[in-house]
Amino acid sequence: ALTSLTGLTHLDLFGARITDYGTSCLRYFKKLQSLELCGGSITDAGVKNIKDLTSMMSLNLSQNSHLTDGALEFISGMTALVSLNISNTRVTNAGLQHLRPLKNLTSLSLQACKVTWPEIRKLQATALPNLAGVRLD
Protein backbone atom coordinates (compact mmCIF):
# COMPACT_ATOMS: atom_id res chain seq x y z
CA ALA A 1 0.00 0.00 0.00
CA LEU A 2 1.13 3.51 -0.80
CA THR A 3 0.49 4.61 2.79
CA SER A 4 3.45 2.52 3.97
CA LEU A 5 5.86 4.76 2.03
CA THR A 6 5.99 7.41 4.74
CA GLY A 7 9.52 8.52 3.76
CA LEU A 8 8.36 9.60 0.30
CA THR A 9 9.59 13.08 -0.67
CA HIS A 10 8.23 13.45 -4.24
CA LEU A 11 4.91 12.25 -5.62
CA ASP A 12 3.55 12.93 -9.11
CA LEU A 13 -0.09 11.97 -9.61
CA PHE A 14 -0.59 14.09 -12.73
CA GLY A 15 -3.84 13.11 -14.41
CA ALA A 16 -4.60 10.39 -11.87
CA ARG A 17 -8.04 11.90 -11.15
CA ILE A 18 -7.44 12.02 -7.42
CA THR A 19 -10.49 12.78 -5.27
CA ASP A 20 -10.82 14.37 -1.85
CA TYR A 21 -10.79 10.88 -0.34
CA GLY A 22 -7.53 10.18 -2.14
CA THR A 23 -5.91 13.25 -0.62
CA SER A 24 -6.83 12.02 2.87
CA CYS A 25 -4.36 9.16 2.33
CA LEU A 26 -1.58 11.63 1.54
CA ARG A 27 -1.56 13.24 4.98
CA TYR A 28 0.74 10.45 6.22
CA PHE A 29 3.56 11.58 3.94
CA LYS A 30 4.97 14.20 6.30
CA LYS A 31 8.28 14.35 4.38
CA LEU A 32 6.71 15.21 1.03
CA GLN A 33 8.51 18.13 -0.58
CA SER A 34 6.95 17.95 -4.03
CA LEU A 35 3.39 16.97 -4.94
CA GLU A 36 1.53 17.06 -8.25
CA LEU A 37 -2.23 16.52 -8.11
CA CYS A 38 -3.24 17.89 -11.51
CA GLY A 39 -6.40 17.21 -13.42
CA GLY A 40 -8.45 15.66 -10.66
CA SER A 41 -11.70 16.44 -8.95
CA ILE A 42 -10.22 17.80 -5.74
CA THR A 43 -12.23 20.40 -3.84
CA ASP A 44 -11.13 22.72 -1.04
CA ALA A 45 -11.86 19.85 1.39
CA GLY A 46 -9.23 17.78 -0.41
CA VAL A 47 -6.65 20.50 0.09
CA LYS A 48 -7.57 20.63 3.77
CA ASN A 49 -6.48 16.97 3.95
CA ILE A 50 -2.91 17.90 2.96
CA LYS A 51 -2.59 21.22 4.80
CA ASP A 52 -0.29 19.76 7.46
CA LEU A 53 2.37 18.68 4.94
CA THR A 54 4.56 21.58 5.99
CA SER A 55 7.75 20.25 4.33
CA MET A 56 6.12 20.89 0.94
CA MET A 57 8.26 23.06 -1.33
CA SER A 58 6.49 22.50 -4.65
CA LEU A 59 2.74 22.02 -5.03
CA ASN A 60 0.86 21.67 -8.29
CA LEU A 61 -2.93 21.61 -8.02
CA SER A 62 -3.64 22.85 -11.54
CA GLN A 63 -6.66 21.72 -13.52
CA ASN A 64 -8.75 20.97 -10.43
CA SER A 65 -11.66 23.17 -11.49
CA HIS A 66 -13.52 22.85 -8.17
CA LEU A 67 -10.80 24.58 -6.13
CA THR A 68 -11.68 28.04 -4.83
CA ASP A 69 -10.12 30.74 -2.67
CA GLY A 70 -10.83 28.47 0.30
CA ALA A 71 -8.08 26.11 -0.87
CA LEU A 72 -5.56 28.94 -0.54
CA GLU A 73 -6.50 29.36 3.10
CA PHE A 74 -5.37 25.78 3.74
CA ILE A 75 -2.21 26.24 1.65
CA SER A 76 -1.25 29.33 3.69
CA GLY A 77 0.27 27.13 6.40
CA MET A 78 2.70 25.51 3.95
CA THR A 79 5.30 28.19 4.55
CA ALA A 80 8.17 26.21 2.98
CA LEU A 81 6.50 26.48 -0.45
CA VAL A 82 8.76 27.83 -3.17
CA SER A 83 6.55 26.94 -6.14
CA LEU A 84 2.75 26.87 -6.38
CA ASN A 85 0.64 26.10 -9.44
CA ILE A 86 -3.10 26.63 -9.08
CA SER A 87 -3.87 27.30 -12.73
CA ASN A 88 -7.29 26.47 -14.15
CA THR A 89 -9.04 26.71 -10.79
CA ARG A 90 -11.67 29.11 -9.43
CA VAL A 91 -9.16 31.18 -7.48
CA THR A 92 -9.80 34.95 -7.53
CA ASN A 93 -8.07 38.16 -6.45
CA ALA A 94 -9.81 37.87 -3.07
CA GLY A 95 -8.01 34.60 -2.34
CA LEU A 96 -4.55 36.05 -2.87
CA GLN A 97 -4.51 37.39 0.70
CA HIS A 98 -4.06 33.79 1.90
CA LEU A 99 -0.71 33.60 0.12
CA ARG A 100 0.81 36.37 2.27
CA PRO A 101 2.47 33.96 4.77
CA LEU A 102 4.33 32.14 1.95
CA LYS A 103 7.48 34.25 2.22
CA ASN A 104 9.63 31.65 0.39
CA LEU A 105 7.40 31.60 -2.69
CA THR A 106 9.37 32.40 -5.85
CA SER A 107 7.10 30.90 -8.52
CA LEU A 108 3.32 31.21 -8.82
CA SER A 109 1.13 29.99 -11.70
CA LEU A 110 -2.43 31.29 -11.86
CA GLN A 111 -3.27 30.77 -15.52
CA ALA A 112 -6.98 30.82 -16.36
CA CYS A 113 -7.87 32.12 -12.89
CA LYS A 114 -9.79 35.31 -12.09
CA VAL A 115 -6.67 37.10 -10.89
CA THR A 116 -5.28 40.40 -12.18
CA TRP A 117 -1.77 41.81 -12.51
CA PRO A 118 -2.42 44.82 -10.23
CA GLU A 119 -3.36 42.47 -7.37
CA ILE A 120 -0.32 40.27 -7.99
CA ARG A 121 1.97 43.31 -7.97
CA LYS A 122 0.40 44.52 -4.74
CA LEU A 123 1.01 41.10 -3.18
CA GLN A 124 4.64 41.15 -4.34
CA ALA A 125 5.23 44.64 -2.99
CA THR A 126 3.60 44.13 0.40
CA ALA A 127 4.16 40.48 1.32
CA LEU A 128 6.09 38.36 -1.20
CA PRO A 129 9.26 40.14 -2.27
CA ASN A 130 10.88 36.86 -3.40
CA LEU A 131 8.08 36.15 -5.87
CA ALA A 132 9.87 36.48 -9.21
CA GLY A 133 8.04 34.17 -11.58
CA VAL A 134 4.30 34.67 -12.08
CA ARG A 135 2.19 33.19 -14.87
CA LEU A 136 -1.32 34.52 -15.43
CA ASP A 137 -2.11 34.12 -19.11
Residue-wise pLDDT for 12-51, tens only, equals 998 888 899 999 999 989 999 999 999 989 999 999 999 9
Q: How far apart are CA 28 and CA 23, in angstroms?
A: 10
pLDDT score at 94: 98
pLDDT score at 16: 87
Which CATH number does the domain housing residue 55 bear?
3.80.10.10
Q: In the sheet that 10-12 helps form, which strands lie side by side, from edge to edge?
A: 10-12, 34-36, 58-60, 83-85, 107-109, 133-135
Longest dimension (CA), the chain: 46
pLDDT digits (tens, 9 = 90+) for 57-96: 999 999 999 999 999 999 999 999 999 999 999 999 999 9
pTM (two decimals): 0.94
Let me know: does 84 contact 108? Beta carbons within 8 Å: yes
pLDDT score at 3: 67
4 pLDDT higher than 70 = yes
Coil/strand/helix, residue 79: coil
Count the domains in the chain. Answer: 1
Q: Give me the amino acid identity at 38.
A: C
Where are the extended beta strands (E) located within 1-137? 10-12, 34-36, 58-60, 83-85, 107-109, 133-135
Bridge partners (DSSP) listed for residue 12? 36
Average pLDDT of the segment spanning 112-130? 96
122 pLDDT higher than 90 = yes
Range of the domain at 99: 2-135
Bridge partners (DSSP) listed for residue 10? 34
